Amino acid sequence: PGPHQAIAYFVSAFFNRHWYQPARKNINYFKRAYRHAMKSGDISYAGHSINSMFMVHFFLGDNLDTIYADHKRYQAFVQNSRSPFVVATYMAIQQFYRSLKGQTASPFSLSEPGYDEEVEFAAAVEGGNLMLQFFFLLFQLKLLVIFRQWDKAMAVADRIRARNYLPAGTLVLTEYYFYAFLSAMAIVSNGTDRQQVRRCRQQAALSMKKMKQWRRLRPDNFEPMLRLMEAEQARAAGRPSKVLRLY
């Protein structure tokens, strides 16, 4: 063990283990990163490990109430970490959970009294933190898709693309393409603007191509998303029997 072991565990889990191991194993590596970071006094990487661990829990579809209760246990530690990136990410994750539980101003907003997502996002932009900006926009995209706000979801997906920053190698990248695909296909199915529909078809095709590549690497991590994407594609093509089989 050495002073850089926390970083090694964190980087391997955040950027690469999900391509050849079940994504759930990432949680154990983030826990190891957290323990080694605490031993070496690297509070920043301890905080990053906490945040990343809970992002994996959501990716896996774990019980939301259990996740939220466990997440709250780290709040005092994170808020005392003095790392603006760690604190802002932690709070965004917390607000994401609260939104899903119906405790924010609207089902598809992170904001509530005491927390303004636009102010927080502006601070991330001012600080030049591209990863944090991506996290904020991804949380928005997820909520908008989950609550079927398709036009707004597509606008957020466009904002993400326009920033020319996608965190290569990460699980959150696969989530971006998944949710961007769902928003694009909803517009393909229901849109009336031919130019917009054509553009959404192209973007959906790119997402589908990437998810198929990832599925070949690790089916247990990515096949559920791919099958849902294929079901939505079949629905847009008017093939109900295939939709039912894929779902």
Give per-residue pLDDT as tens, 92-141: 999 999 999 999 999 889 999 999 999 999 999 999 999 999 999 999 99
Measured N-to-C along each axis, helices 117-127 and 130-146 cross at an angle, to the nearest 10 degrees, of: 150
Euclidean distance between CA atoms 177 and 206, whole angstroms: 9
Query: What single DSSP character describes residue 112?
Result: B
Of the pLDDT bands very low, low, confident and very high (cuts 50, 70, 90), residue 166 is very high
Give the number of other Cβ atoms within 10 Å of residue 201's Cβ.
Answer: 17
Q: Is the pLDDT of residue 36 over 80?
A: yes
Query: What helix, strand, coil percent values describe the chain, rounded to 5?
Result: 75, 0, 20
Q: Lowest mean pLDDT: which of 8-12, 111-115, 161-165?
A: 161-165
User: Please, are residues 133 and 124 in contact by the beta-carbon 8 Å criterion?
Assistant: yes
Report pLDDT for 193: 87
Residue by residue, DSSP assigns 136-158 as HHHHHHHHHHHTT-HHHHHHHHH
Long-range pairs for 205-210: beta carbons < 8 A, 24 or more residues apart: 206/177, 207/177, 207/178, 207/180, 207/181, 208/181, 208/233, 210/174, 210/177
Euclidean distance between CA atoms 156 and 154, whole angstroms: 5
Q: Is the pLDDT of residue 173 over 70?
A: yes
* Percent with pLDDT over 90 in the chain: 91
- Mean pLDDT (the chain) is 95
User: Please, are residues 108 and 99 in contact by the beta-carbon 8 Å criterion?
Assistant: yes
Euclidean distance between CA atoms 92 and 86, whole angstroms: 10
Q: What is the pLDDT of residues 38-75, one digit of tens each?
A: 999 999 999 999 999 999 999 999 999 999 999 999 99
User: What's this model's pTM, rounded to 2 decimal places?
Assistant: 0.94
Q: Is the pLDDT of residue 1 over 70?
A: no
Report pLDDT for 3: 67
Of the pLDDT bands very low, low, confident and very high (cuts 50, 70, 90), residue 2 is low
Report pLDDT for 195: 92
Q: What is the pLDDT of residues 206-240, one digit of tens each?
A: 999 999 999 999 999 999 999 999 999 999 889 99
Q: Is the pLDDT of residue 82 over 90?
A: no
Structure tokens at 118: 């636009």
Give the number of other Cβ atoms within 10 Å of residue 103's Cβ.
Answer: 12
Measuring CA to CA, which residue among 70, 76, 3 is closest to residue 33? 3
Distance of CA 57 to the CA centre of its chain: 11
Residues in Cβ contact with 74 at an 8 Å cutoff, skipping those fewer than 6 apart: 50, 90
* Percent with pLDDT over 70 in the chain: 99
